[in-house]
Amino acid sequence: MSPTHQLDLYIDMLKIRLAEQKIQKHYSDDIFKTPVHLSIGAEAISCGVLAHFPLRRVYGTYRNHHWFIPATKNLTGFFLEMLGRKNAPAQGRSGSMHLSDPANGMILTSAIVSSTLPIALGDCWAERQKKNPAQTIVFFGDGAVEEGVFWETLNFASLKKIPLLFVCEDNELAIHSFKKSRQSFDMKKSVESYGVPYFRGSGSDAQAVFQTVAQALIDLKKGPVFLHFDYLRLFEHVGMAADFSAGYRDKPEGTETHFDPVWNMKQKLVQSGLSTAQLQAVESDAAREVDQCFMTAFQSPPTALGPDDETPFKSGASHE
Amino acid sequence: MNSWTYRQALNEALHAELKADDETFIFGLDVDDHKSIFGSTENLLKDFGANRVFGTPLSEDAMTGFAIGAAINGKKPIHVHIRADFALLSANQIINMASNIFYLSGGQLNVPLTIRCVIGRGWGQGAQHSKSLHSLFAHFPGLKVFMPSSPQDAYSLMREAVQDPNPVLVFEHRWLYDIVGDVDIKRSAVLEPKIIAEGEHLTVVGNSWMTIEALKAREVLATLGVKTEVIDVGVVSPLNLTAITSSVKKTGHCIIADHDWVDFGLASELSARVHESNFKELKQPVTRIGFKNMPCPTARELENGFYPKAQDIIAQACLMLGLTIPDLSKFRFYTYEERFKGPF
């Protein structure tokens, strides 16, 4: 991977990290009146996957900030929605857990585990039927594969050879329960038993993610592919705190280093010969952009209920 | 003008919609088999091909999500459940996803999805093949609920449902499939409850099969000099009360006969609204008629006690109007149950 490419991934991840830290900083001010599932630690997965697909239609879950920001490049829109502002992409109707900016490729996310999986499949099928070029991507956590609809979706994807990209972000935790207390099966064997190619890699290293996706691209031309990335959730399930001291999990060795995707990529850039000054310039640009987007959003007018809220329907028939 | 059965009207509407827009497709268990959902999907596979008319795995949940995703991306899916009860397997996708997507996305996404649900009845259909579910789904903002009771409505409401840019559930009563009626394909759908028989002494509000029973009751009541106005609720949600309100203003008496359980259902909703809008004109409280408050039984003798009938409407009307219930043995009541010999 070239240093330029590494730098692009670094900047993408840095913006996510800084945006999340901005929320952490101001959450106690009570300006974000929405449950927040921080994406800190997961930035490499979204950035490494998205780098392959300039045309994409993204679906996902409530832990979606790390997809929304690089997929849409709409950082102001992100803060507008988080703050419930009138001119937000979804006019303040989505909040943190259902972020949606279809005009910029982030189609739909959901607070119900696994519920966007079949929707992404239908979207992908329609995209192929219409011979449109975008890649439909659905991301989900390791808990989603315990829902029946995951297997229904995997079966139909394989049966009809619909090239949906399944991206499992595995942090081993469903809120506070570990995977070993929830799953009796081997994910690789189970997925492969449906005839779906399976790839696994580190989710803490964007370059490794990028390379894992590269291995899957040929299979993705022929049908669905399942990508499985392991990463460490650096903060609590929902909320702002680190919770390694809560008693249900230990703090792994390397939490601040090789489990941190931003730290990881920075080491690579140093090894590739980027100077401290160059890195500082990039970092201060990213920080300035995040600050500006946040302030623009913060100063925007709040959203309000209108007459349309009670008729949640699109008007008009589509033909005749 | 065509003289069509309800099933023909559905079939013609589906043909017309698939022909009108290449993005429209129909799918679900059994839509493409030789029995073609009681004939309603007949010849669709032949005319439009397996890409637009196809069967599915037994995965109602994922198939509903699949339809939602296709709809978001420009398709117009029609998903079919041969029994309404099976739609409950996809309740998460319908209630948590389809109903909310337009709103949660701030109007950026819409879901032009049609879900056909066939209501079973009799011949031992029992507790898991007989639910109506229109009241349940009408409870949720963002879903539309249609319930055609005539071939004309079957045609025009089905076409309207497919063309609607929002999720619409269409509930089709199995016993209605054989009724015959005039269908004008140019007539646009009436998107609110409508008077289908005029009267002046009593308003009976029915839906689906209960509208047929209400019309029968009207015939019998006429022999007592009672002129009954029958209103059919073909569109349950969004609910418009105009016709019912003006009818009750005239009659002062209202019976609601819903093809569902009474408690927490459409009958209760309508009753509340009529009391709110017509309190001063009502001469008696509104009465609700519906299923007995128990799971639907299978044996014929038990089924007969479970379902409301024209006789119940007549008895209630007589009570309300201070009349003696006539000898009903000289009237011939619905013979559909005798004609319907199963198996499904």
Using an 8 Å CB-CB cutoff, list chain A residues near B97.
110, 112, 115-116, 119
SS3 category, B169: strand
A145 interfacial to chain B (CB closer than 8 Å): no
Question: Do A100 and B105 count as a contact with CB atoms less than 8 A apart?
Answer: yes
pLDDT at B124: 86
* Cβ-nearest to B105 among A94, A116, A159: A94
How close A104 comes to chain B (CA, Å)?
Answer: 11
User: CA–CA separation, A217 vs B149, rounded Å?
Assistant: 52
Subunit contact B105:A121, Cβ cutoff 8 A: no
Q: Do B73 and A156 touch (CB under 8 A)?
A: no
Alpha-carbon span B211 to B116, nearest angstrom: 20
Cα nearest neighbour of B164 on chain A: A317
CB within 8 Å: B105 and A90: yes
**Which residues from chain A sit within 8 angstroms of residue B74, using beta carbons?**
126, 130
Beta strands in B121-248 (DSSP E): 144-146, 168-173, 180-183, 194-197, 202-206, 228-232, 235-237
Q: Are A156 and B66 inside 8 Å of each other by CB?
A: yes
pLDDT at A319: 43
Enumerate the residues of chain B whose CB falls inside 8 A of the CB of residue A153. Answer: 62, 65-66
Residue B343 preceded by cis peptide, ω within 30: yes
Contacts of B112 in chain A (CB under 8 A): 318
Question: Coil, helix or strand for A195?
Answer: coil
The answer to whether residues A199 and A170 touch, using CB atoms and an 8 Å cutoff, is: no
Q: Give the pLDDT of residue B334.
A: 79
pLDDT at A162: 98
Across A77-82, average pLDDT:
97
Q: Do the Cβ atoms of A165 and A134 come closer than 8 Å?
A: no
Task: Give me the mean pLDDT over the A34-62 stretch.
Answer: 96
Q: If 0-12 CB within 10 Å is exposed, 13-18 middle and 19+ buried, where does residue A112 land? A: middle
Structure tokens that stand for A280 in this block: 């500082």
Name the residue facing A119 among B59, B68, B164 (closest C-beta).
B68
pLDDT recorded at residue A318 = 45
Q: How close are the terminal C-alpha atoms of chain A, in Å?
A: 53
Three-state SS string over B53-106 comes to EECCCCCHHHHHHHHHHHHHCCCEEEEEECCHHHHHHHHHHHHHHHHHHHHHCC
Give how far Cα B276 sits from Cα of A46, A247, B248, B271, Å: 54, 56, 12, 9
- Run of H or E residues at B2: strand B2-5
In the A/B pair of chains, how many CB contacts fall below 8 A?
163
**3-state SS, residue A105:** coil
State the Cα angle at A161 between A157 and A162, rounded to 5°: 60
The pLDDT score that the predictor gives to residue B333 is: 87
- Residue B163: which of A94, A112, A320 has the nearest Cβ? A320
Q: Which residues of B touch A88 (CB under 8 A)?
A: 106
ipTM of the complex: 0.96
**Mean pLDDT confidence for A147-166:** 98
Chain A residues touching residue B100 (CB < 8 angstroms): 312
> Do the Cβ atoms of A163 and A219 come closer than 8 Å?
no
Task: Return all residues near A271 (Cβ < 8 A) that are at least 6 apart.
Answer: none
Residues in A touching B72 (Cβ below 8 Å): 102, 107-108, 119, 122-123
Cβ–Cβ gap A118/B64 under 8 Å? yes
Distance, CA of A110 to CA of A62 (rounded, Å): 6
Question: Which among B317, B196, B200 has a CA at the least distance from the CA of B248?
Answer: B200
pLDDT along chain B (344 residues), means of 10: 96 98 97 94 97 97 98 98 97 98 96 97 90 97 98 98 98 94 96 97 97 96 97 98 98 98 97 98 98 94 92 97 94 68 56
Q: Which two tokens stand for residue A136?
A: 């439909």
pLDDT at residue number A271 = 95
Instruction: Report chain B's C-alpha Rg in angstroms.
Output: 20
Q: What is the pTM of this model?
A: 0.96
pLDDT value of residue B344: 58
Among A residues 149-168, those touching chain B with beta carbons less than 8 Å apart: 149, 152-153, 155-156, 159
Shortest alpha-carbon distance between residue B213 and chain A (Å): 33
pLDDT of residue A163: 98
Contact assignment for B76 to A318 by CB distance below 8 Å: yes
- A245 and chain B in contact, CB less than 8 A: no
Whole-number Å distance between alpha carbons of B97 and A111: 10
Residues B13 and A232: their CA atoms lie apart, in Å, by: 54
Residue A226 corresponds to which tokens in the numbers above?
Answer: 């399942």
Q: What is the pLDDT of residues A88-101, one digit of tens each?
A: 999 999 999 999 99
Over 50: is that where the pLDDT of A132 sits?
yes
Residue A317 confidence (pLDDT): 61
The reported pLDDT for the residue numbered A320 is 41
